[in-house]
Structure formats: C-alpha cells, structure tokens
Amino acid sequence: MISFAPRPFRSVAPAVLAGMAVLTLSLSACGSAATTNAGNAADPAKGGTASVSNGAAQIAVSVEKVDGEDSCVPNFTSAPAGPVTFTIANKDASGVSEVELLSDKRILGERENVIPGLKSVSFTVTLTGGEYQLYCPGAGKEYQPFSVSGAAASAAANGTSGLLKQGTDGYAKYVSGQVDSLVLAAATLQAAVDSGDVTASQKAYAEARPFFERIEPVAESFPDLDPALDLRVADVEPGTEWTGFHPLEKDLFEAKAITASSKALAAGIVKNVATLKTLTAELETNASYKPEELANGASGLLEEVQSSKITGEEEAYSKLDLVDFAANIEGSQQAFEYLKPALNEIDPALTKQISGQFETVNTSLDGYKDANALGGFKAYTDELKKSDAAKLTALIQSLQAPLAKIAEKVATV
C-alpha cells in the first residue's frame, strides 16, 4: 500500500542527462540496457530543424532495427519554439513500445502502444526554447537530445504544471470536505451509541464509513491515526488495545449489544476524527499534496479493495464490504478526476482508457445497489462472495492496470 508520504517525497531517480553514461552501463535486466557501444550506433537522424506545418513543427520518429538494434530515429533533432507534433511509427523494433518527450525527468507528452505493424500515432506538445530528451525505453540508445530554439510562442508552455497545481488544490478541498462530513457522521454515531439504540447505531456506522474509506490513503499517511481508527482484529498486536470503527462494529453487528466499552470506542472515534480534520486542514493550507501522491492514492484505494474488501475481511461483522468498496472506488475516481486535465495533455489515450474502466466498474457496482440495505448496497454475504468475488477481482484489476501508470506521468520530482 503506497500512501501519502508524511515527509517530503524523495526521488532517487538518477539524473537523466548527467547520469547518461552510468545509466546505459547499469545492466538492469537480462542485458536489456544498452551496451557501451550504444553511443557508436549509426545515428541516421538528419539533425537540422523541423519545418512548421498545420501550426506545429512536424517531427517523424521511426522506431526500427538499425544494425540489429532497436532504435528510435527522429528525422529532425530540433524544432522552433511553439507546438511540436511527434508522429511515431514502429517498423520492426519489438523491444520498444512507447516514446516519451521529457523535460529533465518530467514527461511532457508520450505515446504508448507503439507496436510493430500498427498505424503511426502522434502527440503534440507546446515547447519553450531549451533542451529536451526523446526517451524510448527499450531501445539501444534510450535517450536522445532534442533542442528547441527561440522563446515561448505562447503562454501555454508547460501548461501541465498549472493544471496539476489546480488538480492538487482541488483534491485538497475534496479531502477536507469528506473529513468535515466524517466529523458530523462520527458525532451522529456517538449520539446513537450513547442512546443505547443498536439499530440506530448500526445505521450511523454504515453512514460514517464511506467518508473515511474515500480518503483512506490520506488517513494512512498519518502513521498512528489510521490504526487507531481502522484496525481490523487480525492486525491487532497482542497486548495492545483495539480501537476505532471495527471493535465497535463487532459490538453492534455481532454481539448486537451496546456496553460501556462501545461508548468509549465511539468517543474515541470522534476524538481521532477531530485530529484527522486538523491534520488534513494543514495539508490543504500548505498545499502539500503532490500530483504523484494523488495518483498513488487512487491506485492504493484499488489495492485496498482487492486486499480487504473483496475478501470480506474489512467488514467481517457488518458485511458492509460493498459499501466500503464503492467508497474506495469513488475516492480513487475523485483523485483521478482532479489529475485528468493535466493527464489529458500528457497521455490522452491512457486517460480515456481509465475513464472508460471507471465507467465499467461503476456500471457493475450499480448492480449491487440495494436501497433497502444498510449503506445502500447488498450485504457481502459468504454466498455473494463465493459467486461474485472472482468477477469483482477481474473488474478491479482491469482498472488498476492502467491507473497504476499515472503516478509516473504526473510526477513533479
């Protein structure tokens, strides 16, 4: 589970430019990295500056075998500032399937599924004057310098940075909003428990859970808070106290009895949720969220679904796993939606694919809705688990596969 780092995000990626020689020499896997001779490979790039047509400088990148080695061959190695369109076709280099344009280590634009035999694909980025790299993972020579002359033709250059900033700011507000609702829901839960009404308490419990589950990765970034609120019985260290939602769930749904300790648990939830509010408000004020954290959080929520919801471990007594499941998906989609405007600039095809997969998951989840059930979803009984768990797993996996890729694309490190 990757969660939001409470400390500043640390990058250990080697410098792309300065470290080039080192990079190509580190044989990472089965000798797939370039050998020392990579630099001597024939470089049929014409050099020179691309001419502008259709309002953009046109660069054709041919991915092909040159002297038996998978290579990326651009027809020009520089372009004037402004929009630049890279059109990529893979002739016969099976080892290369994507091409990216980098500024330092940031991905400005890229195309995946650059596969031999398929039609050419293209992406357009607006570039200011400076040095960039064309990156072809898997090629003999993975990085090639690409230079842009002149100043910016428009203020749209590096527009993705602005979009990402808007995204993280928006997400911070979303988290705060969820926590505010959680504060109210926790108070309602405490009032119900204090009144001794089991049915009302069960209902309040079911209503409080989604607010927490939607923003779970953020809660998890506070190392003490998440276990205090959301520890499952299996994860309790012997000799430590079990607190939070789940022991209360056990009282309400298994014993169906409210005791003094149930009331203490409800009070503890209220207290810890108040702490969570303080901490998330600070994150919003300081604009601490990084785009890659949103992305990892979105993917992390899907990990949660697979590791504890589909198995029925999360809500072992209340059988509300599908309620949590839906909340995890919703939280994941929210994080994605805030990144979407920037992501659309970087990799529109992937963005479209993820949107489509979210739609598929949501449509499937609709089939589990039950207005009369606690939390609005069918109880996740053993029978339902037996019949549907494999289907749900496949569903989530086909969303997670593309979603997991976005952190790298929006990383600001």
Partner 1 sequence: MTEITPAADKVSRRRFLSGSAAVAGAGGLVLGAAGGTAIAAAAAPEPVSEEVRMAERASLTYPFYGQHQGGIDTPPQDHLVFTAFDVTALTAVELQLVLAKWSAAMSELTAGSPVGKVQPEREQAIPVDTGEATDMGPQGLTLTLGFGPSLFDGRFGLEKFKPVDFADLPAMAGESLDPALTGGDLCIQACANDPQVAYHAVRNLARMARTSVRTKWTVLGFGRASAGAEQATPRNLMGFKDGTRNIQEPADFSDQVWVGEEAGQPWMVGGSYLVARKIHMLIETWDEDPIGDQQTIFGRTKKEGAPLTGAKEHDVPDFHAAVAGGTADETVIAADSHIALAAHENNNGTKILRRGYNFTDGLDSVGRLDAGLMFLSFQRSPEQFIALQRKLGKSDRLNEYIRHVGSGVFAVPAGLPAAGSYYGKEFFA
**Residues of this chain that bind partner 1 (CB under 8 A):** 10-14, 16, 23, 27-35, 37, 65, 67-69, 91-95, 97, 105, 113, 115-118, 137-138, 140, 292, 295-296, 353, 357, 394, 397-398, 401-402, 404-405, 407-408, 411, 413
In sequence order, what E strands does 186-312 have? none
- Radius of gyration in angstroms for the set of CA atoms belonging to the chain, rounded to a whole number: 25
Q: 38 vs 323, which CB is nearer to partner 1?
A: 38
Give the sign of the dihedral formed by CA 231, CA 233, CA 237, CA 242.
positive
Q: 248 vs 410, which CB is nearer to partner 1?
A: 410
Q: 31 vs 367, which CB is nearer to partner 1?
A: 31
d(CA 71, CA 22): 19
Q: 291 vs 331, which CB is nearer to partner 1?
A: 291
**H/E run at residue 61:** strand 56-66
CB 269 → partner 1: shortest distance, Å? 34
CB 282 → partner 1: shortest distance, Å? 24
CB 229 → partner 1: shortest distance, Å? 28
Encode burial over 94-127: b for 16+ CB neighbours within 10 A, e otherwise. eebbbbbbbbebbbbbbbbebebeeeebbbbbbb
- The angle, 0 to 180 degrees and rounded to 10, between the axes of the packed helices 159-195 and 291-304 is 40
Question: Cα-Cα-Cα-Cα dihedral of 390, 393, 399, 400, to 10°?
Answer: -150
CB 118 → partner 1: shortest distance, Å? 5
Maximum distance among all alpha carbons in the chain?
80
Q: 344 vs 398, which CB is nearer to partner 1?
A: 398
CB 32 → partner 1: shortest distance, Å? 6
CB 380 → partner 1: shortest distance, Å? 22
d(CA 302, CA 213): 11
Q: 74 vs 402, which CB is nearer to partner 1?
A: 402
Q: Which residues contact 239 (CB under 8 A, 6 or more apart)?
A: none
Q: 160 vs 178, which CB is nearer to partner 1?
A: 160
Return left, alpha or beta for 376; rule: phi > 0 is left, psi -120 to 50 is alpha, else beta. Answer: left
CB 343 → partner 1: shortest distance, Å? 13
CB 30 → partner 1: shortest distance, Å? 5
Q: How far is CA 79 from the centre of its chain?
A: 33
Q: Which residues contact 406 (CB under 8 A, 6 or more apart)?
A: 295, 298, 299, 336, 339, 343, 350, 354
Q: 272 vs 353, which CB is nearer to partner 1?
A: 353
Q: 104 vs 254, which CB is nearer to partner 1?
A: 104
Cβ contact 100:110 at 8 Å: yes
CB 12 → partner 1: shortest distance, Å? 6
d(CA 209, CA 403): 24
Task: Classify 4 as helix, strand or coil.
Answer: coil
Q: 153 vs 404, which CB is nearer to partner 1?
A: 404
CB 355 → partner 1: shortest distance, Å? 12
Q: 120 vs 181, which CB is nearer to partner 1?
A: 120
CB 359 → partner 1: shortest distance, Å? 11
d(CA 99, CA 113): 9
Write the DSSP assignment of 113-159 as a string of letters.
---TTSPPEEEEEEE-SEEEEEE-TTSSS-EEEEEEESS-SSTTTTH
